[in-house]
């Protein structure tokens, strides 16, 4: 018999939710359980302003932008999550006041990750995102001390992250998105673009166009990725290596004869393969197959056969 799911407190549908924790506590991971449009991240806004999320010189400007966006979202009564490490008491009070001006509830979520883990997580970060150990210690101490004062700062509710169920809404949102992609929600879904997204990623979909009726791939389905005058031609293979697997080839120049009138194809396993094809880095790929010359193995074998014939003729 399945045990009943524990009862967790419900967060308001629309509120100001402030994540409080030291660098490395996992605030950004937690924030990702909400839709991206609802999250105001100081790192993200630094990236918008300076093209570098770790640019500390841009922190002041990023904080100004955060306050402006927050004010507008609170006026629209929209759920908003704040993901920022340097949230000292005066800054938190400003955030709470912005919400209260528009009658929005305020929630503090404490991400009380052990200090040792917060420090250990700095090692895997790039230099401009790595926070010094003494700073992490100071932030962690401030987080602990803030627990008792959050109500006095104006927060309506205070929760520790371990007391919330963010996994269920996160999985529900992902499930709904996946169902929409598959057309299980009654819509068209991605249809024949589903495999394209799986292989090359969702960003390529607006550039993708099937070229049904093209015969350049020996009867297999052909597509084109085009932006302006530049384009790539791809073929959908439905029996890769004779094993019945699905995959894509990208058209490249014939490596055996620049005047070849056939079509040469190289496997395209990822978006990186498309970049290499466009820049010529696949032009001599070992797995290229030309409809006229075959593969490198075929060409080498043909050369060996000619050499053997010449040697036999010479001996004769």
Q: Which domains does the chain have, with CATH numbers?
A: 16-174 (3.40.50.300), 193-302 (no CATH)
% of the chain beyond a pLDDT of 70: 91
Query: What is the structure's pLDDT at 56?
Result: 83
Q: Whole-angstrom Cα distance, residue 133 to residue 74?
A: 35
Q: Say what the pTM is.
A: 0.80
Looking at the predicted structure, is the pLDDT value of residue 293 above 80? yes
- How long a stretch of residues is the chain? 316
Looking at the predicted structure, is the pLDDT value of residue 301 above 70? no
Mean pLDDT of all residues belonging to the chain: 90
Query: What is the structure's pLDDT at 124?
Result: 83
Q: Whole-angstrom Cα distance, residue 80 to residue 101?
A: 15
Looking at the predicted structure, is the pLDDT value of residue 202 above 60? yes
Query: For residue range 227-253, what is the model confidence (pLDDT) as tens digits?
Result: 999 999 999 998 877 676 889 999 999
Model confidence band, residue 2 (pLDDT cutoffs 50, 70, 90): low
* Number of Cβ within a 10 Å radius of residue 107: 23
Residues near 239 by Cβ (< 8 Å), separated by ≥ 6? 245
């Amino acid at each position: 018999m399945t045990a009943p799911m524990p009862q967790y407190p419900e967060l308001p549908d629309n509120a100001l939710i402030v994540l409080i924790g030291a660098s490395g506590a996992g605030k950004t991971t937690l924030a990702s359980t909400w839709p991206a449009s609802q999250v105001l991240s100081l790192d993200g806004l630094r990236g918008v302003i300076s093209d570098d999320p770790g640019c500390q010189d841009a922190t002041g400007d990023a904080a100004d932008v955060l306050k402006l966006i927050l004010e507008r979202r609170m006026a629209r009564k929209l759920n908003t999550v704040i993901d920022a490490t340097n949230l000292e008491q005066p800054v938190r009070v400003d955030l709470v006041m912005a919400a209260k001006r528009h009658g929005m509830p305020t929630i503090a979520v404490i991400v009380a990750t052990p200090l040792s883990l917060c420090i250990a997580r700095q090692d895997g970060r790039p230099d401009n995102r790595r926070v010094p150990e003494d700073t992490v210690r100071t932030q962690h101490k401030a987080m602990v001390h803030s627990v008792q004062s959050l109500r006095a700062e104006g927060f309506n509710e205070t929760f520790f992250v371990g007391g919330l169920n963010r996994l269920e809404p996160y999985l529900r949102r992902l499930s709904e998105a996946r169902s929409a992609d598959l057309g299980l929600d009654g819509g068209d879904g991605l249809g024949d673009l589903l495999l394209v997204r799986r292989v090359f990623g969702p960003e390529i979909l607006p550039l993708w166009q099937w070229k049904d009726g093209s015969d350049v791939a020996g009867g297999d389905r052909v597509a084109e990725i085009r932006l302006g005058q530049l384009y790539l031609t791809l073929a959908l293979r439905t029996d890769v290596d004779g094993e019945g697997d699905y995959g894509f080839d990208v058209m490249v120049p014939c490596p055996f004869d620049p005047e070849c009138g056939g079509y040469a194809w190289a496997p395209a396993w990822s978006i990186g393969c498309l970049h290499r094809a466009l820049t010529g880095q696949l032009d001599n790929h070992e797995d290229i197959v030309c409809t006229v010359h075959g593969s490198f193995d075929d060409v080498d074998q043909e050369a060996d056969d000619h050499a053997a014939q010449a040697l036999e003729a010479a001996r004769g």
